[in-house]
Structure 1
């Protein structure tokens, strides 16, 4: 299965600073890439796509000798443009991967167990695999004035995580829709979405202050 798998990290401009934040002495992007390398057979199967202006920065973050085979592509100015650049690159390969893992640099702590579950589901025939967690907070509906109108049934709600898995052919169709979100695009194209259990400790890093908390979580895991 690993020989048929590519892994993708879109880094649009809004995530460029996050990619450079430090966690346990390493850049966030480096941690994400190293984790993905555990799932693929060839380091060249890991591809990072970023805005053209950020290619040099990304290459510097991945400058260690054992990461030199990781590919860095000039993508676009948003998530889907970066993803589209990688999908086009993969599809043009002579022996293109049948499956793709798509990871968000903002979730550097996703466990190997979640990645393995996504890959296993792809191998069992799923076209799109989404790690999810139950919603535990109370969720309210509000009107245009902000007044609460209802309490939603959270038993049917889930939060979506990364990495997300795709059959390459399905991901090509999703990207071709031009929709800004791959889940919305999958639903619009009628793609069946398989869910697997997510990781409650896969915290999202959105600011430098978040790295302090995430570092503490990493220390507790040692």
Structure 2
């Protein structure tokens, strides 16, 4: 394991974890222009990473969570985990530094998981409000089928194909198109094998998600229903959308009290 890795479990569980989650928090967020990595942007005084750690460690599984953070923010990530992780949690948590590209960061996260892990979920910390139900839906489908599984939403806008000058050439049939999200789930062996050869696939361009990594390696990818609240922070306009979901979460908690 990388020397920067830190185990924050606090105790040794009675059984070894078979579920692993790689929480990717190493994105630089250049399009966002926030001057800080996306996972550490704050909403109402709380970093996005805090929400992601919270939902993962709320899952009723013996699991191991690996947070992949920029080396410059590793100590901050550790502080966040220590604040969020409940005492006596069945989850083990490690923090490791990320790589130059996303697929490299995921590989580092995979390498930090214990050998007992059989099912792996990869989730973007920039999607802070993906629900526990979505995580469970992906886990169940991976274990039922053995395939790679991604959450997906139907494309509702009209899609046009344009050239470099912005001239429309055709309208694309949107019926077979979906927008995919995270968490994405995999059999650990499938994902690890695909990432071990990812560096050999650069002639096709860098993969944009882990489903593409495993599909290029020959694995089958299937979908489960996604959710609007698993929205990703990419540009400044996305902050208003995430604020909406945060407010909805807070109102829901108040109504349950």
TM-score tier by shorter-chain length is 0.7 to 0.9
CA RMSD of aligned residues (A): 2.3
The answer as to whether partners of 2:68 and 2:109 remain within 8 angstroms in 1 is yes
Distance in 1 (alpha carbons) for counterparts of 2:20 and 2:69? 17
Q: Higher mean Cα deviation, 6-15 or 97-106?
A: 6-15
State the match for 1:214 in structure 2. Answer: 242
Unpaired runs of 5+ residues, structure 1, are none
Pairing 1:59-98 to 2, within 5 Å after superposition: 59-64=78-83, 66=85, 69-90=92-113, 93=114, 95-98=115-118
Q: SS at 1:76's partner residue?
A: coil
CA pair 148-79 structure 1, distance change in 2 beyond 3 A? same
The reply to whether residue 201 of structure 1 matches residue 229 of structure 2 is yes
| Distance (whole Å) between structure 2 residues aligned to residue 169 and residue 34 of structure 1 | 27
- Cα pair 2:129 2:230 within 8 Å, conserved: yes
**Aligned 8 A contact 2:26 2:39 in 1:** no
Q: 1:187 aligns with which of 215, 221, 224?
A: 215
Aligned-residue offset at 1:207? 4.8
Instruction: State the partner residue of 1:115.
Output: 135
- The count of corresponding residues between Structure 1 and Structure 2 is 217
Q: Cα distance 1:64–1:25, how it changes in 2: closer, same or farther (>3 A)? A: same
Moved more, 142-151 or 193-202: 142-151
Asked whether the 8 Å contact 1:5–1:40 carries over to 2, the reply is no
Go from structure 1 to structure 2 and tell me whether the alpha carbon gap of 1:198 and 1:13 turns closer, same or farther (over 3 Å shift).
Answer: closer
Q: Which residue matches 2:163?
A: 143
Residue 86 of structure 1: CA displacement?
1.4
Tell me the distance in 2 between the aligned counterparts of 1:153 and 1:147.
Answer: 18
What's the TM-score once normalised by structure 1's chain length? 0.87
Aligned residue for 1:7? 21
TM-score by length of 2: 0.76
Q: How far apart, in 2, do the equivalents of 1:124 and 1:109 lie?
A: 25
CA distance in 2, matches of 1:103, 1:13: 12
Deviations 1:153-210 (A, max 9, x none): 0001000101000110011122112253223222211110010000022222235664
Closer/same/farther in 2, CA of residues 159 and 186 from structure 1, 3 Å limit = same
Residue 74 of structure 1 and its aligned partner are, at CA, apart by: 2.0
> How far is 1:119 from its partner?
0.6
Would you say 1:166 and 2:186 are equivalent positions? yes
Q: Is the 8 A contact 2:110 2:192 kept in 1?
A: yes
